[in-house]
Amino acid sequence: MHSMQAAQFAIETARAAPIEPDLVALLRGLIDLTYLGEDDDSAVDELCAKAAGVAAVCVYPEYIARAKNKLEDKKIKIATVVNFPHGNSSLDTVLQEIDTATALHADEIDVVLPYQDFVNGQFHTVNHFLTAVRKRCGNKIVKIIIESGALLKPALIRLAGQMVIDSGADFIKTSTGKIEVGATLAAAYTLLTLIEQSKSSAIGLKLSGGIRSVADAHAYLYLARAVMGKAWLNPRTLRIGASRLIDDLS
């Protein structure tokens, strides 16, 4: 089957698949429960109150200490964002943001790729950025947000994903959730097949942006299982960044 036909078949099959309770049962443990709205202490408190059993809670750096204080389950990781949301801060600023997140004891750092530079073909600049970020983050889990909705073409999404893999990051993340196009099954398929073909067991995928219901998330899990196998559906290699999904699971 032609690759484009294979992709379309896989996507349509995932979208139409009946809900499988075994896949739904995995969802909570894969969620990066996220609040990246306006300054609101109560919203962060509410987020943490819902967080039992999730993989991580993702908040702006100024809320890291509050989230750590509110979370009773100390196994839940604290993630934060850097170069967010536009990906256009200077490298020096990004490195300073990473230092701040590290000093605040974030466990995981989600960094926006300078995707405008990438789209403009400034690949050397992007590679330099990725290398510097990976080094500065030390032993922290690093997720690089490629903003797949701004790249659009599968070839560009695949190239961005390959650059992230080559940098030694821990996860490719699809989206900030701050532009019109977030995660899509098409982008997920492109990145999943890239990971499978690269044989890079160390790299994971974080799907984010617009995944609001169990039905939405189920399609992504179904697709990931089809490409990578069920054992890959664990928080070391697959995350779902979401804020509303947890309510549909309750």
Contact assessment for residue 221 and residue 233, using Cβ atoms and an 8 Å cutoff: yes
206 is catalytic: yes
Inform me whether the pLDDT recorded for 195 exceeds 90.
yes
The predicted structure's pLDDT at residue 201:
64
CA distance 40 to 111: 22
Residue tagged active-site, from 32, 68, 77, 110: 110
Average pLDDT over residues 65-84: 93
Which residues constitute the domain of residue 111?
Answer: 3-249
The SS3 assignment for 143 reads strand
Confidence of residue 93 (pLDDT cuts 50, 70, 90): very high
Tell me, what CATH number does 22's domain have? 3.20.20.70
Phi, psi for residue 75 in degrees, rounded to 5: -75, -20
The predicted structure's pLDDT at residue 109:
98
Inform me whether the pLDDT recorded for 200 exceeds 70.
no
Confidence of residue 97 (pLDDT cuts 50, 70, 90): very high
173 is catalytic: yes
Average pLDDT over residues 183-191: 97
Confidence of residue 136 (pLDDT cuts 50, 70, 90): very high
Confidence of residue 2 (pLDDT cuts 50, 70, 90): low
CA distance 146 to 174: 6
CA distance 203 to 209: 20
pLDDT in tens, 30-64: 999 999 988 789 999 999 999 999 999 999 999 99
41 is catalytic: no
Inform me whether the pLDDT recorded for 139 exceeds 90.
yes
